[in-house]
A and B are shown apart, each in its own frame.
Chain A
Amino acid sequence: DIQMTQSPSSLSASVGDRVTITCQASQDISNYLNWYQQKPGKAPKLLIYDASNLETGVPSRFSGSGSGTDFTFTISSLQPEDIATYYCQQYDNLPLFGQGTKLEIK
């Protein structure tokens, strides 16, 4: 079975900072990776699909990159409304989520 390792598990950054989260797969999953945002008490929201495609309506400060086993999610300039937990999700076989990264404002 494919294992997903997401890091860091938590992150504190200042408004305006560039924030990076990584997700590593235990085997090659091509570009079969999505990124979701979950704000406290809310349902998750799709931000990035197929590793690097921005979902409609999602601000351009969010981006994704990578292929194979190593993937990166970036917020180019952190905004207060970006406080949330972020999850990667692979779909090489059945969907599998990473452990999540809780993002806080410093």
Chain B
Amino acid sequence: QVQLVESGGGVVQPGRSLRLSCAASGFTFSSYGMHWVRQAPGKGLEWVAVISYDGSNKYYADSVKGRFTISRDNSKNTLYLQMNSLRAEDTAVYYCAKDRADGTTLNDWGQGTLVTVSS
């Protein structure tokens, strides 16, 4: 079965950087697009970024564009989110999710990793 395990979360000061990882198993990772979605404490879901199956196409939410970078290593079955210039409003649980087929539907999710941006 599909398994997605996020890691790399923690407490970080404003302005600093953090890299999240998502280890995938149970499916052919190199065949599917992947997403990052976040959820601030007590708030709703916010889509963050998507990357195509081969890494050639990447799209971002306006709130993170220019600060966050999504990437993947298909040889390691791992998805990444490099987060730079972090702000207090980036505090959230970050989920990685597998796309169904074409960047539109998130049909499998990890358990999430908490990022807290605080001085």
Contact = CB atoms under 8 A, between A and B. Distances in A.
A and B found bound together = yes
A43 B44 contact: no
Contacts of B104: 32, 34, 91, 95
Nearest to A95: B47
Question: Max chain B CB contacts within 10 Å: which of A32, A49, A94?
Answer: A94
B50 A100 contact: no
A46 B107 contact: yes
A87 B45 contact: yes
B109 A45 contact: yes
Interface string B29-68: 0000001010000001111001000000001010000000
A44 B109 contact: yes
A97 B48 CA distance: 11
What size tier do the contact residues of chain A reach? 20 to 34
Interface in A55-106: 55, 85, 87, 89, 91, 94-100
A33 to B, nearest CB: 10
B107 A43 contact: no
A45 B110 CA distance: 10
B103 interface: yes
A100 B111 contact: no
Contacts of B106: 34, 36, 44, 46, 89, 95
A49 B101 CA distance: 12
B52 to A, nearest CB: 13
Nearest to A85: B44
A44 B109 CA distance: 7
B72 to A, nearest CB: 18
Nearest to A94: B59
10 contacts: A34-B104, A43-B95, A43-B112, A44-B95, A55-B107, A95-B103, A97-B44, A97-B46, A97-B47, A98-B44
Interface of B: 35, 37, 44-47, 50, 59, 61, 95, 100, 103-107, 109-112
Interface of A: 32, 34, 36, 38, 42-46, 49-50, 55, 85, 87, 89, 91, 94-100
Given A89-B106, A95-B106, 18 more contacts: A34-B106, A43-B111, A43-B112, A46-B106, A46-B107, A55-B107, A87-B45, A89-B47, A91-B103, A94-B47, A94-B59, A94-B61, A95-B35, A95-B103, A96-B47, A97-B37, A97-B47, A100-B44
